[in-house]
A and B are shown apart, each in its own frame.
Chain A
Amino acid sequence: MTETKKIATRESYGNVLAELGAQFPELVVLDADLAGATKTAVFKKAFPDRHIDCGIAEANMMSVAAGLASAGMIPFASTFAMFAAGRAFEQIRNSIGYTGMNVKIGATHGGISVGEDGASHQCLEDIALMRTIPGMVVMCPADDTEARKAVKAAIEHQGPVYIRFGRMPVPVLFDEDYDFQIGKGSVLREGRDVTVIANGLCTASAVEAARMLEKDGIDAEVINICTVKPLDEELVIRSAAKTGKVVTAEEHNIIGGLGGAVAECLGEKCPTRMLRIGMHDRFGESGPAAELVRKYQLDAEGIYKQIKAFVKG
């Protein structure tokens, strides 16, 4: 693993769509006047006839995507997480989820790392919302490699998929030979004392936090869970049974997201002491992304401190 490069996963999204356009002729990309920000403009440049700007009308975009999918196309509907999972929730639920349409939702600008735009644009609820829709696959990649592989896996998966991408550049964690599979987590570091389960930008923070914990004599296991649904329960339970303590870390409300999914699983199948790191049922605010991530203790230092207090407490 290397941590030399930093890339925002929204960049990975736009790049991989353009890469895959030739291989998958059914692939079409829809956007809602945000092609520059969601990075689907990269695809638009390569395949102008297969990029459809729906304008600032997300509800219509989601149902149009369903209509396209019903005729055999593979649409990626792109906008910010807030306006995909948030504004168009019911269109996703009824036009895409209930029908089981083969629509992929590429939601960028998830979480507080949106930065200066502030709380109105910082979606902290999308994973929870999307997770409750039957049949919906929900993913939150941790880096460039995983984001690109998740998009390809989504195309190859038959059925609705929600993928959350970030605006802030994050370290590249995975090598090209990473065997990504929907529904499979990966152990980034083995440990005995505590399990740390993370996704999105928190994965890199968790890896760094684990190194810091080592100096305190705490041996942390770090697991990356890109697919929040279906959750890799086997991996989660195996690690929880080994360490007896589980921490989740995500750029999302601690209610209903990764922490919620892990708590549901362990509560029923392997009751374990838990700590959920994330946004504590509150909205974000304006500020530079890195400063917000620090303030809300989602950086390595913040996650380290919270895990240390939990393990010692």
Chain B
Amino acid sequence: MNINTLQAVANEVRKNIVTAVYFAKSGHPGGSLSAAEIYTYLYMQEMNVDPANPGDPDRDRFVLSKGHACPGLYSAMAERGYFDKEELKTFRHLGTRLQGHPSMHYLPGIDMSSGSLGQGISCAVGMALAAKLQGKTYRTYTLLGDGELEEGQVWEAAMFAGAKKLDNLCVIVDNNNLQIDGTIADVNDPYPIDLKFEAFNFHVINVADGHDFGQLEAAFAEARETKGRPSVIICKTVKGKGVSFMENQVGWHGSAPNQQQYETAMEELERKGETA
């Protein structure tokens, strides 16, 4: 898939995110929009997955450690063909397969239920370890928020993955710089993120613009080629990216647009889709 096509899909993913959250009247648009390119690249380009065979034991695995950003995950899965886009409108409704945080029992293709921050990366580490123990070649990807790095379990997992040399593990950090109570630097300052992972024996790949598919492509290729230790791709992103009034606004971490805001956001994204 070329970069223009990926950009077009990412724009669709953004429209899906806004739609899902609007119809749910709740959810987390900010950290979903910041990772739209990451989700798109993983599901359309990077991962060896098949929506028709989501339980394939040899498939690549994905764990959304920042589980609240599942509108982005569901949106990318819909684009990849796991289910019809219309279903996104059931997000968070009673009886939905699209639970408020991802649940593997509800939706095939979710490799691990998540939502409690810090646990997803450990589960991903377990999957990567299983591949080593079973002699399998699948890779495991996990996406973390930058605020999530404040959870101690993240560093337990990082120490373990580094110590066990899990080079089939690729950790991605969505470094949008905002968490609920403010900027991550103001709340509990997990910076420098790269030096911390390096100290835990990770191969660190800094991506200056996590919305640039060229940079993402190079980063994921470098991670795949790295042997003997796990990789972390730290992506600088913009929270709420793509919807002007949501960008860099912490208030859009966990709130839904009203009808007028929804229409404005969709118009913006439609225009971007046309110019892309």
Residues in A lying within 8 Å of B, measured CB to CB: 28, 49-50, 52, 54-55, 57, 59-60, 62-73, 75, 90-91, 94-95, 98-100
Q: Is A66 within 8 A of B134, CB to CB?
A: no
Which of A50, A57, A75, A91 is within 8 Å of B160, CB to CB?
A: A57
Which of B57, B116, B133 is within 8 Å of A94, CB to CB?
A: B116
Report A126 CB to chain B, min CB distance, Å: 20
Given pairs A64-B125, A66-B126, A70-B126, 10 additional interface contacts (CB within 8 A) = A55-B160, A57-B159, A66-B123, A67-B124, A67-B129, A72-B57, A94-B113, A94-B116, A94-B119, A95-B122
Answer whether A68 and B113 are a contact pair too, CB < 8 Å, given A63-B123, A95-B122, A100-B105.
Answer: no
Answer whether A66 and B112 are a contact pair too, CB < 8 Å, given A60-B125, A72-B57.
Answer: yes
The residues of B that contact A54 with a CB separation of less than 8 Å are 160
The residues of B that contact A57 with a CB separation of less than 8 Å are 156, 159-160
Q: Is B123 within 8 A of A64, CB to CB?
A: yes
The CB with the most chain B CB atoms within 10 A, among A55, A66, A67, is that of A67
Give the docked Cα–Cα distance between A71 and B153 (Å).
21
Give the docked Cα–Cα distance between A64 and B169 (Å).
13
Q: Does B118 contact A (CB under 8 A)?
A: yes
Q: Is A95 within 8 A of B123, CB to CB?
A: yes
Give the docked Cα–Cα distance between A98 and B126 (Å).
17
Residues in B lying within 8 Å of A, measured CB to CB: 57, 61, 63, 103-105, 111-113, 115-116, 118-120, 122-131, 133-134, 136, 152-153, 156-157, 159-160, 163-164
The residues of A that contact B120 with a CB separation of less than 8 Å are 63
Which of B128, B134, B160 is within 8 Å of A60, CB to CB?
A: B160
Answer whether A67 and B112 are a contact pair too, CB < 8 Å, given A55-B159, A57-B159.
Answer: yes
Which of B103, B133, B157 is within 8 Å of A63, CB to CB?
A: B157
The CB with the most chain B CB atoms within 10 A, among A63, A69, A98, is that of A63
Closest-by-CB residue of A relative to B130 is: A71
The residues of A that contact B116 with a CB separation of less than 8 Å are 90, 94-95
The residues of A that contact B63 with a CB separation of less than 8 Å are 67
Q: Is B123 within 8 A of A70, CB to CB?
A: yes
Report B171 CB to chain A, min CB distance, Å: 13
Answer whether A50 and B119 are a contact pair too, CB < 8 Å, given A65-B126, A99-B112.
Answer: no
Q: Is B113 within 8 A of A98, CB to CB?
A: yes
The residues of A that contact B126 with a CB separation of less than 8 Å are 63-71, 75
Q: Is B159 within 8 A of A71, CB to CB?
A: no
The CB with the most chain B CB atoms within 10 A, among A52, A55, A98, is that of A98
Give the docked Cα–Cα distance between A72 and B133 (Å).
11
Q: Is A99 within 8 A of B160, CB to CB?
A: no
Give the docked Cα–Cα distance between A91 and B156 (Å).
13
Q: Is B130 within 8 A of A67, CB to CB?
A: yes
The residues of B that contact A100 with a CB separation of less than 8 Å are 105
The CB with the most chain A CB atoms within 10 A, among B115, B129, B133, B152, is that of B129
A-B contact pairs, 10 of them (CB 8 A): A49-B133, A57-B156, A63-B123, A64-B122, A64-B160, A67-B112, A68-B133, A69-B126, A94-B115, A95-B123
The residues of A that contact B160 with a CB separation of less than 8 Å are 54-55, 57, 60, 64
Closest-by-CB residue of B relative to A50 is: B133
Give the docked Cα–Cα distance between A156 and B50 (Å).
31
Answer whether A60 and B130 are a contact pair too, CB < 8 Å, given A94-B115, A99-B113.
Answer: no
Report A70 CB to chain B, min CB distance, Å: 6
Which of B113, B118, B131 is within 8 Å of A71, CB to CB?
A: B131
The CB with the most chain A CB atoms within 10 A, among B130, B152, B157, is that of B130
Which of B57, B119, B130 is within 8 Å of A91, CB to CB?
A: B119
Answer whether A71 and B125 are a contact pair too, CB < 8 Å, given A54-B160, A60-B157, A99-B104.
Answer: no
The residues of A that contact B57 with a CB separation of less than 8 Å are 71-72
Give the docked Cα–Cα distance between A59 and B63 (Å).
17
Give the docked Cα–Cα distance between A54 and B162 (Å).
12
Which of B103, B122, B152, B156 is within 8 Å of A67, CB to CB?
A: B122
Give the docked Cα–Cα distance between A62 and B116 (Å).
13
Closest-by-CB residue of A relative to B136 is: A71
Q: Is B122 within 8 A of A71, CB to CB?
A: no
Report A93 CB to chain B, min CB distance, Å: 8
Give the docked Cα–Cα distance between A95 and B63 (Å).
12
Give the docked Cα–Cα distance between A281 and B106 (Å).
40
The residues of B that contact A64 with a CB separation of less than 8 Å are 122-123, 125-126, 129, 157, 160
The residues of B that contact A98 with a CB separation of less than 8 Å are 103, 113
The residues of B that contact A94 with a CB separation of less than 8 Å are 113, 115-116, 119
Report A49 CB to chain B, min CB distance, Å: 8
Report B162 CB to chain A, min CB distance, Å: 11
Give the docked Cα–Cα distance between A67 and B127 (Å).
5
Give the docked Cα–Cα distance between A98 and B136 (Å).
27
Closest-by-CB residue of A relative to B118 is: A59
Give the docked Cα–Cα distance between A279 and B275 (Å).
71
